Structure 1
Amino acid sequence: MNAGAATSSKKDNPQVADESIVDEILGIYSEITRYPKDMLDLNMEIEADLGIDTVKQATILSIISEKFNIPQEDSIKLSNYPTIGHVVSLVQARCAKEDGICKESFSAHAKNDDFRDNGNTGSAATGNVEEEVFKVISEITKYPADILERNMEMEADLGIDTVKQATIFSILGEKFGIEGNGANISQYKTIGSIVDLVNQSLKLKSSEPVNAGFGITNSNIDNFETTTYKAQSGKEAGERVGNKVEVHRENNEKDVEEKVLEIISEITKYPAEMLERDMEMEADLGIDTVKQATIFSLLSEKFDIGKNERINISEYKTIGSIIELVAGSFKKSESSNEDAKSEVAVVESIDDEDINIERDLCLQIPVFLEKQAEGTDFDLKDKKIWVVGDNEKQVQKVSGYFAKLSAGVEEFVFEYLGDGAELERKVADFLSENHKVDAIIDCTHFGTLIDFDKISENEQDRMLFLSSEARFIFYKALAQKFSEPRIRILCVISMDGCHGYSQNEQVGIDPFYGALSGFYKGLGKEWDKSTVRIVDLGQGKGNVLDSWHLPVLAQELQNRCDDYEIGYCDGKRGVIKLKNVERSSFKQMNIPDNAHFVITGGGNGITSEITKGLSRRFKAKFTIIGRTELLDGSEVILEGDEAYVNNIKLEIQKRLEKTYERVTPVMVQKEFDKLVKSNSIKSF
């Protein structure tokens, strides 16, 4: 594709396109978005009207490029093609330039695919392998198998990162009984190359059963590596001697620890220096079972662990236990004198129906633990600071204090102006005048007293807007100004000093601070180059930042600290950690007959399943409270019947057209989702 195909004039007036091209492209958009084709037209904006984000836009352009045999170019800018019509014009221009070659039907294009004519077609085994590979990739990526093609690139076209690629290779290795998975993942860029790899490995396995596997065979397979990660020094190296692989390793546990931490760091993106042996994989590092399986798979390739036994991932809860497992496998290896042709460990995959992961239910509770800071790593003297908040007096007070400590301070006060449009303009003006920021201090609504016994509905709406949407508008605009923000952000709240986990039952918690805390925790995950901390100063008289609080904020801004939830309770600094609780310490709760359960949000999702379980276990009354509107006369939607669902969406479109001048698929989808939720609750 050529980015120059869309000029400013074309952007305003897309040319009339060939009907066959229009039909094909509308079919692609319908397939990806699940909107009925009849609902789509060329004037619809891809993002505003269809709700298609840039990732899906790139996917669609990739599919269109392949369908019409158009070479892809990195210079393509998605913003140059805001409507379906602009995409159609681009395709038509390129087709005309290529003398009509790309007007072939998709089926004809598929028949001419280089991968499908590589000598493997017609083989029943190849067909079955291809179908299974497509199925696994579809399961991991959630793309429909029907839109996958052999010449699609795993990363460029499908957006599959190395973690998911490793998971796919692990699952395929188990599914086809192929040992080792020792191939270098990066060599297999397309789906077709993976299909060919599996077919080739299966053939080698049948003819050379001793060492057959992904890259570890008795045949000379070019460009194969014996491990996914190469050693960084001479301590660990694989050498090919004759027709087999010999692996030399240092058995020093310190070297093992370094390599284990290196792999965990690579998968989780946590710096290796931050990792400690007593950290729990799930509780402390947030590593889910998919990533755990990937880590074990890579370790099994690198160290040949688990040669004669299955590894139950859930048994190895900490980094230290994994290091001990690897180190222990060396001792077993030395005593039994096994060599590199032994089978690698079989690691459970949560996506394989034939394998069940055994794990105990981990019961944990958040606790407030006293902890001092670890020194400082952020000097305020040369930093530009923005102070934001809802209360102008508090913002000015904090701004005045930090002006003496830093290179400069700017102020921004959030206001409730009825809707977000006016605030967006105010934020845009602020950002246009201020081009540098090193740190942001959010004073939230300090200085604002709220009487929750008498709060009005309008005041609730105002506070909810300020505590959520207003911050979203501000940081969304900031993200557009700085592509990869590197900012130290401090959110100041006033709960109980323990982020709501105080044992003092007399303390009343301001729920709006909870909303702000949740927002900033989410922001910290999204902005991984920035440092985000939420500091709970506890409840004070008048809820006002005083002379004691300000030095604390300055210190927390400068501190070196990996924790993001920090609190001050009874003058002591602490952080929130997860504590494991023995199930045996729990006491059985006696539920009386005819008890009354009040459950919020119990009409949908996991809470509805919990409610169903409780109703089967206890003879009780259940009151479910939720925000979903129960629609009158709504019919049951038949899941899996695509034609039926499309007809319902078209009926919704006709109904909306009676009220609105212009109806978009996004509007239709919102109404359809309401209908689905309403039906779900009614059936419940």
Structure 2
Amino acid sequence: ATLEKVIGFVYEMRPDLGNQKVAAEPEAVSETAVDTPPSTPDAGSFDAVTAKVLEIVAKQTGYPPDMLELDLDLEADLGIDTVKQAETFAAIRSEFDIPRRDDLALRDYTTLEKVIGFVYEMRPDLKVDGVMGEVAGVVPAPTRITPSSLENANRVPRRMPVAVLRPALAWCKPTGVTLGADSRVLVALDQGGVGKAVISRLEKRGATVLALDVARPTAELVTQVTAWRHAGAIQGVYWLAALDAEPDLMELDLAAWRELNRQRSKNLYATMRALYDVVNQPGTFLVTATRLGGQHGYGAAGAAAPLGGAVVGFAKAYKRERPDVLVKAVDFELSRKTAVFADALLAETETDPGAVEVGYVGEQRVAIGLQERPLPDTPALTLDEHTVFVVTGAAGGITSAIVADLAAASGGIFYLLDLVAVPTRHDAQVQLFRSDKEALKQQLIAAAKAAGERPTPALIEKQLLAIERTEAALRAIEAVEAAGGTAHYHSVNLLDGEAVTAVIADIRTRYGKIDALVHAGGLEISRSLDKKEAREFDLVFDVKADGFFNLLRAAHDLPIAATVVFSSVAGRFGNNGQTDYSAANDLLCKVTSSLR
């Protein structure tokens, strides 16, 4: 955690450097000469290392190189999860002949800029005259473009989740979980009787069962679970709250929406956090049940009870954090009977450790896989100057770039929503950020010192990030206007239902429709479940979940041609330290599925 330890690491990895004499101090080199700017220039202006890294990342992810801006966050902005990051690092090590480091922490290399820095750190001989190649950072103003062809769109791999047949349990191996007289099991009850049937079967095997009422206040629930944990080891949890029927989304108000999510997913978070050091080893389990339709919402009919998506997303992330635990998310059709549910859940607990997402459709047992499928040639939304876009998270780097592309293709009307304040056209710090980021950093350091503050890197980076988001918001506005479109920027907290409703009311009055509702708002804070406090879980979850609900609820009487939500590989596969992010993203996927 100190520079001294970092220097010690260098000598540990390169002991041959320990005997070298220190050379005379070189002449000062301008710091801007080694700074890697945030924009994406032409490939020809990259140094060889940067160009090769971008080529590798493009191959690993399927993203074209011109989307790989060096300062974008790999996970939050580009959607490259830790699994894909590990694959990318392996390819980079192979390309540059870098030895494997067992202590390598992917969380230390969150941007392409840092990944490139890693290459130079491990291979300083690749620098040209000791200096990394300078990259020009001029971003051309957008011009009106013709929307891309279907053929070009299909050059990017399009991987779709699909239900695939899974062998019957009779053909599968045991999970290593045994339910019997030594078992102490927590069952979170549903209202339809499945939980009671599960309890009856467990008690017939001699197990001790704690029945948990998820409607109780969360604090009381945690107290109950904690007391039961202290009374003896808990083998596992059946979480059945998401089996209950759900009202139509448009029949809910914000308070009812939040209460349903509290019972189904936030109380799951609270329970598993209380049991984090107990349900953590082979022989322990977390089995959730949902009623999305048997195919986890990936069938033609879409998701039947979409709030269960958050439960599934949480379960997948918990499996990433606790790989030794048996974790399953079992999905059922609406018409299944109570006894069938209970028997299937116990059987899934003891058999087939090879799949997390499992479903039952008729007599078939399915899991969820991925298939590459081209974009279908169906009638598309016409983009022109009359197209009305609503975009949340408009101050995000990748969102701002997408707005620029949409504006250039349409010259349309854009409602840009973000928590960032309305940007000032000629903000001095924004202009300096664009022209000389390093000079801005030095200015912030000087200002902190003048104010008597300690200018730590964390403090300066926080200030830079705020300016960067303001710049991105302004860039989105400028891109719309440069394309001949109309930009309406609103500083809005997506958790404020009344504020969101006011924006939609303005759209209703002016235009009477929404052609494309793009929900890109969100944030990610990676932290293991035991260290993730409730306020943090709620913030990450609510911005995505409540934000989308508030938009849909406010626009319920408006024609909406298309909705687009930004999810993540964390939502599809789960991710270590991202139970909240995974839960929220999978919820968005299932809500979107239910809108078919």
Q: TM-score, normalised by structure 1?
A: 0.43
Which of structures 1 and 2 has the larger relative contact order (alpha carbons within 8 angstroms, sep 6+)? 2
